[in-house]
Amino acid sequence: MLIMSLHKPWSRQNIPWVTLLLVLINVVVYLGYQRKDDGLVESAVRYYVHSGLGALELDAHTRYLQQTADARLRAAR
């Protein structure tokens, strides 16, 4: 939701060009730059699985889960 306080209704004389430009830039960044993220995440997960990092971190992660006070994390073991 976009809330803009204006003292009078929109017209050609008082269009908030800077605000509309910022919204457009944010949409372009969100849709444009993040479209490749799925492939990058998949590549990182594939590397993590094939490199054996999970086996190296297993003991430390198990200790963390035992020490945490969050019951949801302890139940996830």
pLDDT in tens, 5-61: 667 777 777 788 888 999 999 999 888 888 888 899 999 999 999 999 989 998 998
Residue 71 and residue 41: Cα distance in Å, rounded?
28
Task: Express each pLDDT in 2-14 by its tens digit.
Answer: 676 667 777 777 7
Is the full-model pTM beyond 0.75? no
Q: What is the DSSP track for 23-67?
A: HHHHHHHHHHHTTTHHHHHHHHHHHHHHHTHHHHHHHHHHHHHHH
How is the chain split into domains, by residue range? 37-75
Distances (CA, A) of 1 to 4, 15, 23: 10, 18, 11
CB 57, CB 51: distance < 8 Å? no
